[in-house]
Structure 1
Amino acid sequence: MNSLQIRLDKKKLERAAYVLKSVAHPIRISIIDLLEQRERLSVSELQEALQIEQSLLSHHLTNMRDKGVLDTKREGKNVYYFLTDTTISHIIDCINGCRNF
């Protein structure tokens, strides 16, 4: 009988768990999906697309930025958000590929 073993590096597992915890909310996954479609978006563009209150959006954006999932760039009066690591967008691909969701 073959013995079972964990096939993933411990650091990769820890990083995956950290990232998944930080985006484990429908709004946050939607933000990732929107930023996958466009390289960067302003708060007003995200708010328009998500149709949620600005305070709720700011809460999610701040949390994702604090966790290192998003970063910002200021241009004039606008602050633009972008993904720090585009490999996180594979989560969206996995969700879309799963028939049971």
Structure 2
Amino acid sequence: MTDLKVRVDKKKLERTAYVLKCVAHPVRISIIDLLEQQDQLTVSQLQEVLQIEQSLLSHHLTNMRDKGLVETRRQGKNVFYFLTDSSISNIIDCIKGCKPVQ
């Protein structure tokens, strides 16, 4: 039993827990999935796919931006959202690989 050790450093574990807390909502996971498929999307484009109220979507995007998961880029009248770290999209791969609990 003495060969057991934590294989991930403490800072990385803390960052991972922080990110997982932020994305622990179906809408936020869906936003990550959409931004993985398309490098950047506007609120209107996200809203069209997600079919939720603009105010609710904005709330989720603001939370994700405040936590550093997404950033924005303005182009004319449009504000585009994009993932700050493409490795966050690995969450989608993990979800796809999970077997449903029966």
TM-score grouping bracket, smaller chain normalisation:
over 0.9
SS of aligned partner of 1:21: helix
Q: 4+ runs of 1 displaced by more than 3 Å?
A: none
CA RMSD of aligned residues (A): 1.0
Identity among equivalent positions (%) equals: 73
What are the residue-to-residue correspondences of 1:25-36 with 2, within 5 Å?
Answer: 25-36=25-36
* Partner SS state of residue 49, structure 2: helix
**Cα distance per residue 1:20-72 (max 9 Å; x no partner):** 01111000000000000000000000000000000000000000000000000
The answer for the alignment partner of 1:83 in structure 2 is 83
Question: Which residue is equivalent to 1:13?
Answer: 13
Q: Where do 5+ consecutive residues of structure 1 fail to align? A: none
Unaligned runs of 5+ in 2: none
**Cα separation, 1, equivalents of 2:100 and 2:3:** 30
How far apart, CA to CA, are the structure 2 residues paired with 1:3 and 1:9?
16
Q: CA deviation at 1:5?
A: 1.4
TM-score with structure 1 setting the length? 0.96
Pairing of 1:33-52 with structure 2 (within 5 A): 33-52=33-52
**Aligned-pair CA distance for 1:99:** 1.2
